[in-house]
Amino acid sequence: MKKYYKWGLWNILAGLGALGRTAMAAEPGLAGPAAEAFPAYRAVGLGLAAAVTMVGCTIAAGYAVGRIGSAAMGAAAEKPELLIRTLLFVALAEGLAVLGFAISMIMLQKM
């Protein structure tokens, strides 16, 4: 049962990513009845893609910092000279959230 839940979640995320990619790649010079509704769909698609990007990156960064931080503190308790090296890995995991924020801001600039 858990396997199907995981595949369903990945399919939802892939669909949201496809919505954002479609909104970014669409031409603004459409003709016909869809031309009036296009800016709204583009804004919704880009906003949704930016939100999913930010949420995914912050959740992954929080998970990584939690796992790496606990291991780093355990290693520092046994060997205090390893503290600076282990904090480097925590900072690299935190960089994932910063990267997600930068990508979502780039997406929002395209609106």
Q: What is the model's pLDDT at position 21?
A: 55
What is the average per-residue pLDDT within 93-110? 87
pLDDT at 37 over 60: no
- Residue 56: pLDDT over 70: yes
Task: Say if CB 46 and CB 111 are below 8 A apart.
Answer: yes
Indicate the domain borders of the chain: 2-109
* pLDDT (0 to 100) of residue 86: 87
Cα–Cα dist 41/110, whole Å: 13
In whole numbers, what is the pLDDT of the chain averaged over residues?
Answer: 76
Confidence of residue 109 (pLDDT cuts 50, 70, 90): confident
Record: fold of 2-109: F1FO ATP Synthase (1.20.20)
Q: What percent of the chain has pLDDT over 70?
A: 63
Between the alpha carbon of residue 6 and those of residues 62, 63, 67, the distances in Å are 20, 17, 21
**More confident call, 24 vs 109:** 109
Task: Give the rounded distance of the alpha carbon of 20 from its chain centre.
Answer: 13
